[in-house]
Structure 1
Amino acid sequence: MNRAVDAFDRWIRTEFVALNTRVEEACLAAGRPLVRGDAELERLKQRMAQEGAELVRGIADDGRAALGGDRDTRYELLGSVGMYLAACRRHEIDGPQSAAWPLASALGTSLGVAPRFVFAHQALFNRAVGDRFRTFTTLDDERTFIVHNALSALAYQRTAAALRRVPALGASSPLTEYLLREAQAGLDDAMDFGTTLNKNLDVDRFFLNIRPYFKSYRVGAGEYRGANAGDFAAINAIDVLLGLCSAHDPFYQAVLTEKQPYLPPEDQAALRATVLAEPLLDAFLREAAQSAVTPQLRENIGLFLALCNRHGAVSSYHHHRLVLPFLQEPAARAADDEPEDLTSSGPPLDVVIAQLARLVDLRTARERAGVFGARSKLDRLRALAGL
């Protein structure tokens, strides 16, 4: 890194965090996502915007140094610049942040990603210094939100990695049994992390002080949707490899296409490979239908069916115990000062909730008339195995 990048990194980890925290404490005390008309708060917001703009200009003045680092260094810098832009959007500041747009655009283009902060920048590309990683505030709830969502992402990656190795071994291999158990352990961890998050995250803190940093924001002439804790390829690999979702289903295709620019660079290749994967459900059905079901195949089928159930259960828990209580329900109680910008995903809240509910239906193999669903295949596999 060069001196300008180092100075910006220090500021993001210190003054930036302190200024945002002071504003958030005032918002929580007022019980509102925004406090308008307070001269001291406006001074703090403008100070944050101006200081950040000056530091970004220092990086832009030596653009080749900023863009000459390795991919991970550039991606981390994009996250820091994006956190600054996200904070300006959260505080409804318009003006100084435009100094960061050219750098964000150049970094995004060099990496092949959206030129904004995404959840991966906080989760898995967030170097800790002195026990602390980059955050918007010093609030304990923000740290809880980041850590447990990041741990869930790692758990999903563990499951996806195990499932990707199964096709080369075959449905009836004893090694497949081991991999299916490993995949199950990853989903068990994801459920545990979600349960802990539900117990420890304060609804008001999330809605008033954390959620607003995850909104969409502009970079130049483009509007880019907000950060989403699900923006990793692993969960989609699990969906498709299990056979609960289909890469040929127009609804799910749209999910994959929309997600692509918001993934870390290496996840983009993994998501593209997901489209070509044969579902394990089809592989199990083919072997079970072709010959007598052996004890090992029956054991593997039982583990596979349990894994499908667990994936659906984790998805359902996330929707009903995290999305609805922490977003939909407080939104219904919110004041009218934020009527159209409650989500990070662009569409209105009711549209986002409906899309998420449809994904839950796919992952739980709930039948919907006229749309893709895996229920009939799962029932057929269970019958063939005598389970």
Structure 2
Amino acid sequence: MNNALDDFDRWVRTDFVELNTRLEEAYFAAGKQIERGVAELEALKERLALEGAELVRRAGPADAAPRDLDARYELLGSVGLYLGACRRHEVEGPQAAAWPLANFLASSLGVAPRFVFAHQALFNQAVGDRFRTFTSLEDERNFIVYNGLCVLAYQRTAAALRRIATLGVSSPLAAYLLREAHAGLGDVLDFSKTLSKNLDVDRFFLNIRPYFKSYRVGVAEYRGANAGDFAAINEIDVLLGLCSPNDPFYQAVLAEKYPYMPPEDQSLLRAAVLAEPLLDAFLRETATGSVTPQLRENTELFLAVCRRHGAASAYHHHRLVAPFLQAPAAHAPQEDHDDLTSSGPPLDVVVAHLGRLVDLRSAKARADAFGARASLDGLRDALAGGRS
């Protein structure tokens, strides 16, 4: 890393955090998402925007960018944190200095030119046990840590499920992998429950959520960061067979996510949509009518994994999205209602979209042809009628 990049990184870890924290404390004391027109606060916003712009300008020549792809991706995240903060504090103008570097880094990596949750959780080198954050608020740290742990647990689950294809669903080794997947999803539930208990609703809504809004890079607007922007949860969806890559609704989910995932996740997801779903493999083997003890054990483990995946998704929707976003949004000033979500559409549209994903992951009966409920019922019937 050159001196200019060192200086920018040092600023992101120190003055940047202090400026954002001072602004957030003022907003929180006023009980508002943002304070406008207060001279002292406007000076802090201007300082943040101008200091960041100068440091990015100095760090910005393309030939100074790291050669290592992970370091390049991490730098894109740091530039994105600056741009996200300018958007959060409604600053216009100076941040344009960061657009060329953001676009250069993104085009070289094949990703969107903004920070995403991967930059906060998994591509974020800690120094002295502190990773890069917007603020020094404990609630922001909790949000990143426990969502990041959920991502790691989902990745653990996806890695286990991914390996079953070469073993066959009746293999005794597949039983080990299914138990690993079940344990990983158990961790997702546990981490989500801890986050629900530890995260303050008002702090999240007023001081954390606003950094995840969409923002502009050049002439294009890019939707906000989402903690689900990793391949693993979608790998689990399609490898289990709970969601279908042939479903137009789910195809749109996947197509929209690709630019917001880390580069290596994009290739993992492309491979997953071409794999045979485990549900289909279990249906094929149990259809013979001869259900061996090992196949029965593996099938029951598979069904337990499906149930736990649905439970984790439902918990996130009902105990995190509803109380931390829907409930406080109902009391937000009317002028803020058009800017409540990170993904662009109105809140009710986003929540309905997420609810449909929960239904698919929970295998609820649906009117469309792509839910897994009937196939899972058929698999249970095969177990009930199969010989061992």
Q: TM-score, normalised by structure 2?
A: 0.98
1:279-298, aligned counterparts within 5 Å?
A: 279-298=277-296
d(CA) in 1 for partners of 2:294 and 2:337? 56
Q: CA separation in 2, counterparts of 1:63 and 1:371?
A: 49
Match of 1:235?
233
Q: How does 1:155-166 map to 2 (within 5 A)?
A: 155-166=153-164
Whether the 8 Å CA contact 2:289–2:382 is kept in 1: the answer is no
Partner of 2:24: 24
Matching residue of 1:105 = 103
2:351 to 328, 345, 353: 353
Q: How far apart are residue 336 of structure 1 and its match?
A: 2.4
1:10 aligns with 2:10: yes
Quote the residue 1:264 is aligned against: 262
Residues 95-150 of structure 1: per-residue CA shift (max 9 Å, x gap): 00000001000000000000000000000000000110000000000000000000
Q: Deviations over 1:22-44 (max 9, x none)?
A: 00001111111011121000000
Partner of 2:62: 63
Instruction: List runs of 5+ in structure 2 lacking aligned partners.
Output: none
1:254 aligned partner: 252
What's the CA shift string for 1:208-231, capped at 9, x where partnerless?
000000000000000000000000
For the residues of structure 1 that align with 2:134 and 2:335, how far apart are their CA atoms?
A: 22
Q: In structure 2, what residue type is equivalent to 1:317? A: Y
Q: Corresponding residue for 1:137? A: 135
Counterpart in the other structure of 2:313: 315
RMSD of aligned alpha carbons: 0.8
Runs of 4+ in structure 1 over 3 Å off: none
Q: 1:291, CA displacement in angstroms? A: 4.2
The answer (yes or no) to whether the contact 1:32–1:335 under 8 Å persists in 2 is: no
Partner Cα distance (1:337, 1:53) in 2: 29
Aligned residue pairs total 385
Distance apart, 1:372 and its partner CA? 1.4
Aligned partner of 1:21: which letter?
Answer: T
Distance (Å, rounded) in 1 between the aligned partners of 2:55 and 2:171:
57
Give me the whole-angstrom Cα distance separating, in 1, the residues matched to 2:78 and 2:334: 31
In structure 1, the gaps of 5 or more residues are none
Q: Distance in 1 between matches of 2:150 and 2:107?
A: 29
Aligned to 1:328: 326
Q: CA deviation at 1:346?
A: 1.1
CA deviation digits over 1:155-202, x for unaligned, max 9? Answer: 000000000001111111100100000000100000000000000000
**Shift, 1:290, TM fit:** 2.0
Q: Structure 2: how far apart are the matches of 1:370 and 1:206? A: 36
**Cα-to-partner distance string for 1:10-65 (whole Å, 9 max, x where unaligned):** 000000000000000011111110111210000000000000000011012x3201
- Choose from 239, 242, 245 the match for 1:244: 242
Alignment check: 8 A CA contact 1:190 1:314 kept: yes
CA offset digits 1:347-367 (Å, max 9, x no partner): 111110010000000000011
